[in-house]
Homo-oligomer: A and B are copies of this chain.
Amino acid sequence: MNVGKVTPISGFLEFLPEERIVEQHFLDVIRETFELHGFASIETRAVEPVERLAGKGGDVDKEIYGVSRLGRRRDDAGSADRPDSAEAELGLHFDLTVPFARYVLENAGRLAFPFKRYQIQRVWRGERPQEGRYREFTQCDIDVVDTGSLAAHFEAEMPLVVADAFNRLPIGEFVIQVNNRKIPEGFYRGIGLSDIAGTLRIVDKLDKVGPDAVRTMLLDAGASDHQASQCLALASIRSADLGFIEKVRALGVADETLEEGLAALAAVIQAAMVHTPGVLVADLKIARGLDYYTGTVYETQLVGFESWGSFCSGGRYDALASDGRQAYPGVGISIGLTRMLGLLVGKGLVRASRSTPAAVLVAVVSEADRSRSAAIAAALRSRGIPCDVAPAAAKFGKQIRYAERRGIPFVWFPGEDGDQVKDIRSGEQVPAESANWRPPTADLRPSISRVDPSR
């Protein structure tokens, strides 16, 4: 096969085998956590009709990768052999929410509601690549969707699922920030501002431009000095307990929607205080997504890496999808796995103990005896021990180096008077039988560990 020169494509991340083992560990932990919480897996096709992808309006279509058969494009003049010439224009999905909404509508009669699903897939966006932004990346989503109305308790449960997953991963300290769309909406209305969406968009710039610039923008948009101050005061409120309620009340704004929002956010924080204290924080400056979410919203930061933005976001929406007769409200949260690994693997903060699943290398004494080594490997595998057989009956020193190079901890030597197994880290070698020997549990799979960044 002639393959020509090889160059990476900007924005498309690929891992080496030892890095992929880190990614697999993250995927396994996330999947297992989602399943422990009773979410069922689905996967959707990679493509959707472009008109569905672009349905949200705005300039999102600039980020969509269109997909079309090359043969079809080149055959544009002809038509006889184009069975799909009438097919809709297709694009790669840029998130998992749009395809999930379509899947729910398509299969509504065959799904049991409330439907709790998780979906772990790649998505594609034609954005300009930059640190932490990729053109192809993996998202890990959970959503609960119901018909008609959705119980409020699900809004409290979603971030706790993520907290369970993150607590089992070597990602360091993290904070899940929560807000509720009804709080700023009711508050802004209560102080006499009517352009809710516009005000949210300005407040969303707080982290980027600071409070003075936000004040100027609010004034430019027609807010009074007092209204601007009140907006900034609300945005500065933050608490890991129910303290945020008193702080909002102290601003002296009365509004029914505001009160609903405070009660809803209190329920979320309270559930978190029972489940995993300190991990959820009410943070009233969170504004991103509040223009399309209708209730709780979530963002997640890794402590010390705040400038990387949110690694896990989501919220409550009243109409994920609608087929005209039936609405499907839901709540969802999405882990940006590739962004997280781009940081942790890219910066060398997390590492796998080896580059292969094999825990044991079975040495080969001579090529004539290869079947004996293969039988030892088969015996180990039948008891769930991943192993490899040396590729050549080279000198044992060379076979040991094969294991060393890959981080395989044990080398097995078939012997006339019984086999021996050597831990090549310690050098300790002991007699062993393939029918009953086991490596220590910690060595059975590659281990994943946090690397001290100070070293």
Complexed CA–CA distance, A355 and B115 (Å): 11
Given contacts A47-B12, A70-B64, contact A36 B384 (CB under 8 A): yes
Which residues of chain B are within 8 angstroms of A117 by Cβ–Cβ distance? 17
Which residues of chain B are within 8 angstroms of A37 by Cβ–Cβ distance? 381, 386-388
Complexed CA–CA distance, A111 and B357 (Å): 15
Q: How far is the CB of A121 from chain B (nearest CB, A)?
A: 9
Q: Tell me if A62 and B71 are in contact (CB < 8 A).
A: yes
Complexed CA–CA distance, A423 and B402 (Å): 52
Q: Tell me if A274 and B388 are in contact (CB < 8 A).
A: no
Q: Tell me if A20 and B43 are in contact (CB < 8 A).
A: yes
Q: Tell me if B70 and A91 are in contact (CB < 8 A).
A: yes
Given contacts A105-B3, A356-B116, contact A84 B10 (CB under 8 A): yes
Q: Tell me if A103 and B355 are in contact (CB < 8 A).
A: no
Which residues of chain B are within 8 angstroms of A38 by Cβ–Cβ distance? 356-358, 386-389
A337 within 8 A of B: no
A349 within 8 A of B: no
Q: Tell me if B50 and A126 are in contact (CB < 8 A).
A: no
A440 within 8 A of B: no
Q: Tell me if A45 and B321 are in contact (CB < 8 A).
A: no
Q: How far is the CB of A113 from chain B (nearest CB, A)?
A: 9
A451 within 8 A of B: no
A434 within 8 A of B: no
Q: Tell me if A2 and B71 are in contact (CB < 8 A).
A: no
Interface size class of A (residues with CB under 8 A): 35 or more
Q: Tell me if B65 and A67 are in contact (CB < 8 A).
A: yes
Given contacts A52-B3, A319-B1, contact A66 B68 (CB under 8 A): yes
A148 within 8 A of B: no
Residue of B nearest to A375 (CB): B274
Q: Tell me if B70 and A3 are in contact (CB < 8 A).
A: no
Residue of B nearest to A73 (CB): B66
Complexed CA–CA distance, A122 and B122 (Å): 10
Residues of A participating in the B interface, judged by any CB pair closer than 8 Å = 1-4, 6, 8-10, 12-17, 20-21, 23-24, 35-47, 49-52, 55-56, 59, 61-73, 83-84, 87-88, 90-92, 98, 101-103, 105-107, 110-112, 114, 116-117, 122, 124, 126, 128, 136, 146, 151, 153-154, 157, 164, 271, 274-275, 319-323, 355-358, 367, 370-371, 374-375, 378, 381, 384-389, 391-392, 402, 405-406
What 4 A-B pairs are tightest by C-beta distance, nearest first?
A62-B71, A38-B388, A69-B126, A35-B357
